[in-house]
Structure 1
């Protein structure tokens, strides 16, 4: 039995939306143009979850590219912009978000994506996914996040929780603030797991199988040994009841 959970906060890229393959494909196109090999999974894993400029620098340093982070963005953003509208929701994402919303569980998004990219990626999924979060969507360039304090720092998760508590208190003056220890963070990247743990929250790691293979044998290092943080292979495979949340069966919303 896990801790009693009162709110859930979600990453977006690779967790709610299948955007990571776009990043990989466009990066490989750029690398090929400079005569470089494809992006190794080990480097990809280091980039995932970081704010854009920091992720770009990891790539530039590894490949010894003759570009700055700004130039990298200029070369890749046009192609990414063409592809973002076609990204799909990850398996189980729509069902889980709708389920939590229907049962009154406070939910929020905390993504390293900047506002413009968030809007491009989410445009085809507003009704089924992102409308359920209302105003509780925190993006990587939110001015309330201090410069240099993106993931793996905990600031974005704590800001998301603060927006939930503020909203709940505005409609219920007797609202007891939700504590970080009463939050469940959903992440696909190791850096995201690190940042969720740093926020004092409970983390569900939902990694791509190929990325998880990079970290084979390191579950205890990533998740700790106290049982507060776990890994599942798909959003719909989490035992919600173990956290005091309403049980869900994938497909129940369509029945």
Structure 2
């Protein structure tokens, strides 16, 4: 079957955080290795780390402890690790392309704002056959509330583009126990938070109109199981771990959800629903039907009701 090419324009972008927006994956590894070194254990290999990425804390911890065989109770390990992370996470920074991408997507609210003030939309954008639309965004991260705040408290301008109701964290009570990534629940919930806050004249967004941004293999599978398109932008070392299996990763067919998961939810290799990017700097707006207005529109009256988004644009320059 040839890859699908007749996708509708993207109306919503759903973002993972660790290793996708922020450089936290190497920080995670550094923190874990401190404890492993205390007990004479080898550093965390990427073959194990790849299985931890994107998963909720309890599941990731179970996988880690089965491998590490530390001579301490899991509760002690968690306490020690949390203390080290509390020192390290506040140093996290956006990965290449992130600031610009979030600023651009945040600025697409202009299309809705301009229509809302009753005036005709006129811009200096490059001519396009795609109808401009507001691309809604949400955060869907397995990080629990405490770690989320440790990683983002110093980056409030960057994360202000995600309104509070559209931030779905790993300890969100609306996600059933055992249904974190690679299951689709977190992305479906993130989409729900968007649809519940759409204006009355805007139709609900369908899963195939969503684009998931992920770095982890379980996260890619979760996005595919949610019926969404996916951008896989992984750590270079993770790419090495899955060399030769990239097609399976993009199809969500690595099997991270286990034998009991619905096999009809995943895709097929080279089906056109997902792509690999080495960096978010190379993301193509045109490919996904996204039209970004020029930065000059920030000075228009209809845009002045969202000061926090303007701050994101300032940092993007």
Same fold (TM over 0.5): yes
Q: Deviations over 1:158-179 (max 9, x none)?
A: 11100001111xxx21221001
Task: State the alpha-carbon separation in 2 of the partners of residues 231 and 45 from structure 1.
Answer: 16
Give 1:15 deviation, angstroms.
0.5
The answer to whether residue 192 in structure 2 is matched with residue 162 in structure 1 is yes
Structure-2 change in CA distance of 1:248 and 1:174 (3 Å): closer
Which is greater in Rg? 2
Task: State the alpha-carbon separation in 2 of the partners of residues 150 and 11 from structure 1.
Answer: 13
Structure-2 change in CA distance of 1:148 and 1:87 (3 Å): same
Q: Is the Cα contact below 8 Å between 2:15 and 2:214 reproduced in 1?
A: yes
Tell me what 1:179 maps to.
206
Q: Is the Cα contact below 8 Å between 2:107 and 2:292 reproduced in 1?
A: no
The answer to whether residue 81 in structure 2 is matched with residue 52 in structure 1 is no
Task: State the alpha-carbon separation in 1 of the partners of residues 12 and 250 from structure 2.
Answer: 20
Give 1:150 deviation, angstroms.
0.7
Alignment: residue pair count: 249
Tell me what 1:141 maps to.
171
Tell me what 2:225 maps to.
198
Question: Mind listing any 5+ residue stretches in structure 1 that lack a counterpart?
Answer: none
Please point out which of 54, 60, 67 is paired with 1:62.
Answer: 67
Give 1:45 deviation, angstroms.
0.6
Map 1:22-37; keep pairs closer than 5 Å. Answer: 22-37=27-42
Please point out which of 86, 106, 117 is paired with 1:81.
Answer: 86
Structure-2 change in CA distance of 1:51 and 1:247 (3 Å): same
SS at the partner of 1:178? coil
Tell me what 1:240 maps to.
285
Give 1:248 deviation, angstroms.
9.1
Tell me what 2:149 maps to.
119
Q: Is the Cα contact below 8 Å between 2:188 and 2:226 reproduced in 1?
A: yes
Give 1:47 deviation, angstroms.
0.5
Task: State the alpha-carbon separation in 2 of the partners of residues 30 and 217 from structure 1.
Answer: 33
Task: State the alpha-carbon separation in 2 of the partners of residues 80 and 2 from structure 1.
Answer: 44
SS at the partner of 1:126? helix
Q: Is the Cα contact below 8 Å between 1:60 and 1:67 reproduced in 2?
A: no
